Amino acid sequence: MQIKKVGVVGAGTMGNGIAQVCAAAGYDVVMRDIAEPFVERGIKTITRNLERLVARGKMTEADKEAVLTRVQGTTVLDPLADADLIIEAALEDLAVKVKLFGELDTVAKPGAILASNTSSISLTRIAAATKRPDHVVGMHFFNPVPVMKLLEVIKALQTGDETCAVVEELGRKLGKIPITVKDSYGFVGNRILVPMLNEAINCLYEGLAEPAAIDEVMKLGMNHPMGPLALTDLIGLDIVLNVMETLYQGFEDPKYRPSPLLKQMVDAGYLGRKTGRGFYNYETH
Ligand code: NAD
């Protein structure tokens, strides 16, 4: 199967990044969000990212314009009907994704592949919400999408080998390196990463050290390019909490208990960079 047109559902952090890399690789893209301001914000982010590439001499002005003309924004599902592949990057919530995949299944043409960028939700359950479970797969991109090389391809119990092969090939065309893993809570990347972030938050909760010191330990001692608390701020504390809850409830193992401090900060609305405040303060006065 040849992919020509890609639908992206969700124009947020991940959705606009996915739309950008697909358009940059020459695919026609339709990016859908639920309201116009979200779509506009997504298009603005893509424009800003491309302008930065032009300023650094990594892209010509003409190429930037060509990429932008390949991205169509929308608030409705109909323009996704002729997409060969739809990649969902909406909220990390099982009920939302199950409902959405039911709708996408109705709208998408026969044979189209439905992919989810979920960080941790069972692809097997998402696939079961459709009448084309063999055509449902996980395409787990990493943040920031235009920069990060990994594409974790998630094979649900129902996913066909051909479906995996098509998205692996697409991933390579986007300049990513696809690694295919079986469906399980958190897959491989977040199963290892997110409990480590949670443990760093517990170190802060127990008052072992200040945020910058905890981050320095992991940067200097483990050669991590970014400390775990700064990384949590970048990912979003709500997303990290969601993944911990998915691991905790999925495996029913207390070792995945979310840190009380993480829960409290999410309750306070301190979600990291996107709200201007997380473990660090990003507000500009
Ligand atoms: P985000 O909050 O930045 O963006 C989500 C967008 O989806 C919002 O603009 C929202 O309006 C929109 N949306 C909600 N319901 C929708 C619907 N029914 N149809 C269309 N759009 C809808 O979130 P994000 O960080 O981009 O995360 C999106 C997904 O990607 C989540 O499943 C998340 O777990 C996953 N993910 C996130 C990261 C990360 O680092 N942020 C990394 C990998 C995967």
**Tens digit of each residue's pLDDT (9 = 90 or more) over 139-189:** 999 989 999 999 999 999 999 999 999 999 999 999 999 999 999 999 999
Residue nearest to atom 20 of ligand 1 (CA): 33
Name the residue of 8, 9, 14 whose CB sits within 8 Å of the most ligand 1 atoms, as the mutation to test its pocket. 14
Q: Does the pLDDT at position 284 exceed 90? A: no
| Residue 113: HSE in the Cβ half-sphere, 13 Å Cα cutoff | 26
What class is the 190-274 domain? mainly alpha
Checking DSSP bridges between strand 85-88 and strand 5-9, what pairing results, if any?
parallel
| Residue 93, pLDDT score | 87
Q: How far apart are CA 130 and CA 56, in angstroms?
A: 44
| Residue 27, pLDDT score | 98
Fold matches, 5-182 and 190-274? no
Checking DSSP bridges between strand 28-32 and strand 113-116, what pairing results, if any?
unpaired
Name the residue of 119, 150, 193 whose CB sits within 8 Å of the most ligand 1 atoms, as the mutation to test its pocket. 119
Q: Ligand 1: residues within 6 Å at CB?
A: 9-15, 32-34, 38, 89-92, 96, 100, 117-119, 142-143, 235-236, 239
Q: How far apart are CA 236 and CA 264, in angstroms?
A: 14
CB atoms within 10 A of CB 73: 22
Q: To which residue do tokens 């960028």 refer?
A: 117
Pick the CATH number of 5-182 from 3.40.50.300, 3.40.50.720, 3.40.50.2300, 3.40.50.10490: 3.40.50.720
Percentage of residues in the chain with pLDDT exceeding 90? 94
| Residue 75, pLDDT score | 98
Mean pLDDT, range 112-138, rounded to an integer: 96
φ/ψ of residue 159, rounded to 5: -65, 135
Domain boundaries in the chain? 5-182, 190-274
Residue 77, token pair as written in the block: 């599902």
Checking DSSP bridges between strand 85-88 and strand 136-141, what pairing results, if any?
unpaired
Give this prediction's pTM.
Answer: 0.90
Using the atom order of ligand 1, give the atom closest to the CA of residue 92. Answer: 32
What is the H or E stretch that residue 194 is in? helix 189-205
Q: Tell me, in angstroms, the distance from the centre of ligand 1 to residue 243's CA.
A: 13
Crossing angle of helices 36-55 and 61-69, in 10° steps, is 160
Active site residues: 119, 140, 152, 190
Give the tens place of pLDDT for each residue, 92-101.
Answer: 888 999 999 9
